């Protein structure tokens, strides 16, 4: 596979590690009247994001690359609203990146990576919708 695809996959891993930590710390730190409801969502999605990181790392290894261990910068936020705003943005960035990965993988004939990212993209779109809905309520 191309260096470009491995680089994109490592960007995805860095992002997945980042948000898994970010969302878990938000789960721990959220307070206020919505903490019980929102905290559980943060924790559930953090676990899903770590599973994504693992699946992508396994793919990078299979393709002959070395999976990154460095997360993108983590920003927890000061209150539930700021946390959700940060998370909506993080999911939007993931959606854009994962669409690029799908296109690149397909262009290179790597249908397995494209399929993996179509599955992950569906999860990310659900996360985006869930965070936006919580922010609106």
Tens digits of residue pLDDT in 65-87: 999 999 999 999 999 999 999 99
Mean pLDDT computed over 14-29: 97
Task: Kindly state the tokens that stand for 57.
Answer: 């790392």
Name which of 88, 79, 100 is nearest 12 in CA terms.
100
Mean pLDDT computed over 4-11: 97
pLDDT above 80 (res 1) = no
Q: Angle CA(17)–CA(43)–CA(54) in degrees, nearest 5?
A: 35
CATH, domain range 3-136: 1.20.1260.10
Mean pLDDT computed over 115-119: 98
CB 93 within 8 A of CB 15: yes
Distance from C-alpha of 120 to C-alpha of 1, rounded to nearest angstrom: 20
pLDDT at residue 37, rounded to an integer:
87
Domain boundaries defined on the chain: 3-136
pTM to 2 decimals?
Answer: 0.95
pLDDT at residue 128, rounded to an integer:
98
| pLDDT band, very low/low/confident/very high, at 2 (cuts 50, 70, 90) | confident
Mean pLDDT rounded to a whole number for the chain: 96
CB 55 within 8 A of CB 116: yes
């Amino acid at each position: 596979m191309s260096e470009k695809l491995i680089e994109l996959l490592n960007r995805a891993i860095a992002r997945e590690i980042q948000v898994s930590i970010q969302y878990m710390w938000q789960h721990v730190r959220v307070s206020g009247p919505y903490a019980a409801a929102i905290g559980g969502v943060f924790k559930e999605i953090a676990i899903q994001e770590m599973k994504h990181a693992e699946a992508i790392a396994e793919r990078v290894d299979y393709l002959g690359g070395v999976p990154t261990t460095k997360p993108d910068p983590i920003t927890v936020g000061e209150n539930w609203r700021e946390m959700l705003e940060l998370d909506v943005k993080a999911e939007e960035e993931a959606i854009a990146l994962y669409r690029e990965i799908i296109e690149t993988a397909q262009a290179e004939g790597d249908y397995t990576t494209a399929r993996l990212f179509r599955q992950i993209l569906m999860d990310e779109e659900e996360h985006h919708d869930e965070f936006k809905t919580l922010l609106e309520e």
